[in-house]
Every structure is written in structure tokens, then in C-alpha cells.
Amino acid sequence: MLNQSTNQLINYTLHLADNALILGHRNSEWCGHGPVLEQDIAITNISLDLIGQARNFYQYAAELTNARPIRHTAVAGNGDVERSVTEDDFAYFRDSPGFKNILLVELPKGDWALTILRQVLFSAYQKKLFEKLKESKDVQIAAIAGKALKEITYHLRWSSEWVIRLGDGTEESHARIVKAIDELWGYTSEMFLPVEYELQMLNNGMGADVISLKETWMQNVKEVFDEAGLAVPSAQLIHKGGKIGKHSEYLDDILKELQSVARANPAAIW
């Protein structure tokens, strides 16, 4: 039986993994549909980076969870067998209430402006978060965060350049990025509203104080917006709940596609 501290560490690790997996899957929907070949490849590579980060966190969550084996039907009709948890269990065999990603990453991909803006908003946050997490007392979290920072730095630079290009471009491109800000801004506050497992990990020296990240995140985003000729919204609605499993219908749609093959063949070895 896992103790409360370990359960919270697993929840925290899954939160970090779920953010990366779901955004990676959303971005992957651009594969073959990017505005030009170079940018099609770039957004696809960012998807792969995010999915790689998710795998690292899921593997760690599986290692922690294996103190408590699960019951799993290996072959239909053969009954339940005990086996160890793998990263696939977390990615493919949880329903939406089990996911702990923020709502921002599960929203539909929208047009290119929305995808690019979401990447800026998330990467600016993820970069600040992982800079703190690389100092975590948990050596696995610190190692994963440290390894991912080079990728995240590129994600932020690339998407920031695109926001500037769209905001300071044509009348239509400017209007599209303004529309994206209106649609996404209300989902950003959730990143800085800690839930129980985040607070527990902060108290244990394993997590980060997400409240304290907001000021520098806002400064970074404002710098990009200023160069793009965009205004930072002064007020916002707050959409939240994803961190504790309260999701939109969009996550159900993602999981239906993402998990379809694995659930159709649960005994398969990949």
C-alpha cells in the first residue's frame, strides 16, 4: 500500500506528464497540415519532444506505482492477472477524470495563430517551472526537468517568433492572433493555482511554487506581446479544474482517438 506522500508524488508526476502528452497530441494534429513544410516539421518535432517528456514522467510514475500492482485482464476470457504498471497504462487506460492536465492544453488546435499562441503561453510557463524543478529534491524529477529545458527553450523561442510575425504582420494575421488571445487567456490562470498535490510537493522540496512563477511568466509574455503589437488582457475569466480531473468534452475526444488502438488490443505488446 502506497503512503499518502507517495500518492501525491505520483499525482504530481502524472500532472506533468499529462500536460506534455495532451499538448503533444494536439500539436501532432498539424502533421501534414502546417502552413509550409519547414513549419510543419517544426511543430511535429515539438510534438515529439513533448511526448518524450511525457514518457519520462510516466515511466517514473510507473516505477513509483509498482509497489501496488494492478489487476488487468490480459486476454478476454482468461480472467484477471496481476502485473506491473507501465507507462502505457497511464497513457492509454485512464479515462478523462484520471487525467490531471490543465484545460489549456486540451482545447482544439484551432487555426495556426491559436496553436502558436498556446505554445508560447505554455512554454513560457513550463520553462519557469522546469527551471525550479531541476533543483527538486527528487532526483528523477530534477533529471527529467533538466533534460527537457533545452527543448522547452527552443519551443518558446520558435513560437514567440511566430506570435511576433503574426501580430506585426498583415491585418488578417493580427486579427487572428488577437482572437486567439481572447479565446485562450482565461485558461492561463489555472497554471498558477496550486492544488493539493502541488502544495504537498512544494512542502516536501520536490515541487515548485507555481504562484511565484506568474510574475516572471507575465513579464516574458508581455515582452513578446509588446514586440508583436499586442495588448495583454486586463481582466479574464478563470477556467480551471483540469488538475483535479474536471475536464471539457475535448479531452474525451482526444482520448477516444489516442487510446483506440491500445484499448482494442489490450493484451498486445508494443
- Structurally, the chain folds into a number of domains equal to 1
Closest CA to 53 of 155, 137, 132: 155
238 in a domain, yes or no?
A: yes
269 in a domain, yes or no?
A: no
270 in a domain, yes or no?
A: no
146 in a domain, yes or no?
A: yes
29-71 pLDDT, tens digit each: 977 766 765 677 789 999 999 999 999 999 999 999 986 544 4
Rounded Cα gap, residues 15 and 206, in angstroms = 14
- pLDDT value for 82: 63
Share of the chain above pLDDT 70, in %: 90
pTM: 0.91
DSSP codes, 99-110 = ----GGGGS---
CATH number of the domain encompassing residue 71: 1.20.1260.10
143-193 pLDDT, tens digit each: 999 999 999 999 999 999 999 999 999 999 999 999 999 999 999 999 999
15 in a domain, yes or no?
A: yes
223 in a domain, yes or no?
A: yes
Q: Which domain covers residue 86, as residue numbers? A: 4-264
43 in a domain, yes or no?
A: yes
C-alpha cell at 19: 500536460
123 in a domain, yes or no?
A: yes
